[in-house]
Amino acid sequence: MLCGYDGQYQLLQNRAFQQVQPNDASSLYPWAPVDGAQLTVVADPVPVSNALPNSLEFVVPSDSSGSVGFSNTGYWGIKIDSAWTYNASLYYRFPSASAFSGILTLGLNSSSGTILASNSTTISGAQTTWKQVFLTLHPTASASDNNNTFFVTVDGAAAAGETINFAMFSLFPPTYKDQPNGMRIDISETLAAMKPAFFRFPGGNNLGQTFATRWQWNATVGPLLDRPGRVGDWGYVNTDGLGLYEYLIWFEDVGMEPFMAVWAGYSLDGESIAEGDLEPYIQQAIDQINFVIGDPATSAPAALRAELGHPEPFTLHYVEVGNEDFFSSTYTYRWPAFVNALQAEFPDLNYIATAYPFNPPIYPTPLQYDVHVYQTPEWFVENAFYYDSFERNGTKYFEGEYAAISTNPNDLYGTPADGRLLYPTMQSSTGEAAFMTGLERNSDIVFAAAYAPLLQLVNDSQWTPDLVSFDAGTVYPSTSYYVQKLFSLNVGDEYLPSTLPAVNGTLHWTVSRSSASGDVFIKISNTVSTDADITFALPFSSVASTGTLQVLSGGQNDSNTPVTPDLVSPGNSTITTGPTFDYTAPGYSVSVITVHTA
């Protein structure tokens, strides 16, 4: 899951004053005055757009001198890199015409107050309608830390007594694949390194806590000025600058396909749309799918996609109908209402149900179910055979959310003092790996799986642990990230049956083979502190005498955090192999042995 922090791409927090209360001092955060400026978030009588009714009213005191303006600290910091070009923009207007003509400066300040980048343009007091300013910033040096600010100033003496309104700020560093309105490079490259096959979006819980604040695709596309944003399910404002179109472009750039959810009439506050009132929401789901894969000649949403620059359809094979509808008693009428309408419109798509499998029975009978589980490391080890006993009746399963989140089975969602994990540990990651061996072994019915949540801004997190953490300047891959990467990059297209691990054991493995290369991939998870010996006998006419060994290992509570970001990472070496060979799996480890066969 990925929610909606602009810090994943755009760098200014509260950049458009979306979903905040005007004339409330708290609505300014994290904007701050520079040298005595008077700042107020106002309901602008002539807003920059209908979707963005608020603006920042900037008053230059009549006795001002020097540079006067305001600054923004970003998402708990701004990284300043002298190798980067930053794209900065804003809208401004004078509420009342004046004779003023002067210089407006945008720039980046270090934590010590040194101006590391700035650029200027001339603005006129005659500009009473909104005008956009776009400037590039080229730092002369890199900052030593992330405690830096973006600033906007005028000459106080020249502008004394003036009032200027500002709206819709943006500050972009270089973006992944140079996409406009694109994602941070470091976050994207970290995820791309796993070679993920798919991305589940827009959530998860991000679909909506209430009817009014639900994610609506049509409010996230087109010009940024037309995106009102919303208060997200985790309490912060989603600007929706990262909208449906940006998601889809990013998926293409990374090389993963979307598993896309549609809102299906139920919100996590427990409310459901009445059966007779579902039609507009079903139509909105149809329009959402048409935006992704529809024909621009026959569909207005698809024509919008083409207008935005992507006339050909995006890839889409799976649509999830709702989210966590096992909490709801109304899926029995909502599922058929949505899925029958969607299947009639898009018969080639696969539809994933989000109720408990077969409980209650829903019709038409789902061919795919989304299963979620958050548990202890021990639970994941004990349930490595969870899917082995499932009936092979044509039903497939998507392990859409899973993670070991606590060491306390009696209070999974409690505090860190009560066992809740802040970051994955080697104990939690090896437990997940044991469970993943079962997912791979049962890949005839488990067609996809996703650790959740995916991303965490360490300065303001509502859920822990997460796969990848980040702050304003750095990405922190977790031990579970490396487990996911090891499993993703080392898998064949043929599952090789083997002697099964002990059902109640602590050592688990799975074996697959690439039919194209002949490489065999043996993945082993040792979920306790003691080393474990294992012997492999490979039934092939030719087995290489050496192979490669990748090992992630550490102490039970070892964890990659902002304080210890590289404590645990995989090591690579050569291993002696052959038709039969022995291996000792270190305590709390995930190992991958790759050996060529013919």
DSSP state string for 149-207: EEEEEEEHHHHTT-EEEEEEEEEE--BGGG-TT--BHHHHHHHHTT--SEEEES-SGGG
- CATH number of the domain at 161, please: 2.60.120.260
Count of domains forming the chain:
3
pTM confidence score: 0.97
Last residue of a domain, one of 172, 194, 212: 172
272 domain residue, yes or no: yes
- Reported as a single tens digit per residue, the pLDDT across 524-561 is 999 999 999 999 999 999 999 999 999 999 999 999 99
Do both 479 and 574 map to the same domain? no
Which strand (E) or helix (H) includes residue 25? none
Q: Are residues 106 and 223 in the same domain?
A: no
Round to whole Å and give the CA distance between 475 and 560. Answer: 11
CA distance 229 to 238: 5
Residues 267 and 378 both lie in one domain: yes
Query: Are 286 and 367 in a shared domain?
Result: yes
Q: How confident is the model at residue 424 (pLDDT cuts 50, 70, 90)?
A: very high
Q: Is 510 a domain residue?
A: yes
H or E stretch covering 555: none
Name the band, by pLDDT with cuts 50, 70 and 90, for residue 3.
very low
Mean local confidence (pLDDT), 497-523: 97
User: Whole-angstrom Cα distance, residue 479 to residue 551?
Assistant: 12
Where does the pLDDT of residue 233 fall: very low under 50, low under 70, confident under 90, or very high at 90 and above?
confident
In a domain, 58, yes or no: yes
Q: Quick check: is 157 in a domain?
A: yes
Q: Are residues 237 and 379 in the same domain?
A: yes
Per-residue pLDDT, averaged over 416-433, amounts to 98
Give yes or no for residue 2 having a pLDDT over 50: no
Any bridge partners for residue 175, and if so which?
Answer: 184
On whether both 214 and 186 belong to a single domain, the answer is yes
**Is 542 within the bounds of a domain?**
yes
Q: What are phi and psi of 429, to 5 degrees?
A: -70, -40
Q: Tell me, yes or no, whether 149 and 191 share the same domain.
A: no
Task: Give the pLDDT score at 232.
Answer: 86
Give the pLDDT score at 7. Answer: 77
Are 264 and 239 contained in the same domain?
yes
Same domain, 423 and 531: no
Q: Residue 235 — very low, low, confident or very high, per pLDDT cuts 50/70/90?
A: confident
410-420 tens-digit pLDDT: 999 999 999 99
Report the percent of the chain where pLDDT is more than 70: 99
Asked which of 117, 150, 172 is the last residue of a domain, the reply is 172
Q: What is the mean pLDDT of the chain?
A: 97
Pair 581, 528 in one domain: yes
Tokens describing residue 524: 């082993």
- Summarize pLDDT for 260-313 with one digit per residue, the tens: 999 999 999 999 999 999 999 999 999 999 999 999 999 999 999 999 999 999
Per residue in 438-497, pLDDT (tens digit) is: 999 999 999 999 999 999 999 998 899 999 999 999 999 999 999 999 999 999 999 999
Residue 1 lies in a domain: no
Structure tokens at 563: 């304080």
Higher pLDDT, 2 or 504: 504
The 10s digit of each residue's pLDDT in 91-100 is: 999 999 999 9
Indicate if 528 and 556 belong to the same structural domain.
yes
Strands (E), 213-280: 230-231, 237-238, 257-262
- 197 versus 4: the higher-pLDDT residue is 197
Q: Which residue has 């978030």 as its token pair?
A: 41
209: which 2 tokens? 């806590």
What's the pLDDT at 1? 42
- Helix, strand, or coil here: 483? helix
Q: Which residues contact 417 (CB under 8 A, 6 or more apart)?
A: none
Confidence of residue 106 (pLDDT cuts 50, 70, 90): very high
Which of 114, 131, 171 is CA-nearest to residue 46?
Answer: 131
List phi, psi (to 5°) of 561: -135, 170
Q: Which domain holds residue 14?
A: 6-172
Confidence label for 5 from pLDDT (cuts 50, 70 and 90): low
CATH at residue 341:
3.20.20.80
Residues 203 and 375: their CA atoms lie apart, in Å, by: 20
Going by pLDDT thresholds of 50, 70 and 90, the confidence category of residue 6 is low
Q: Inform me whether the pLDDT recorded for 42 exceeds 50.
A: yes
What stretch of H or E contains 370? strand 368-375
Q: Assess whether pLDDT exceeds 70 at residue 594.
A: yes
Of 119, 150, 172, which residue is a domain's last? 172
Q: Looking at the structure, do residues 51 and 146 belong to the same domain, yes or no?
A: yes
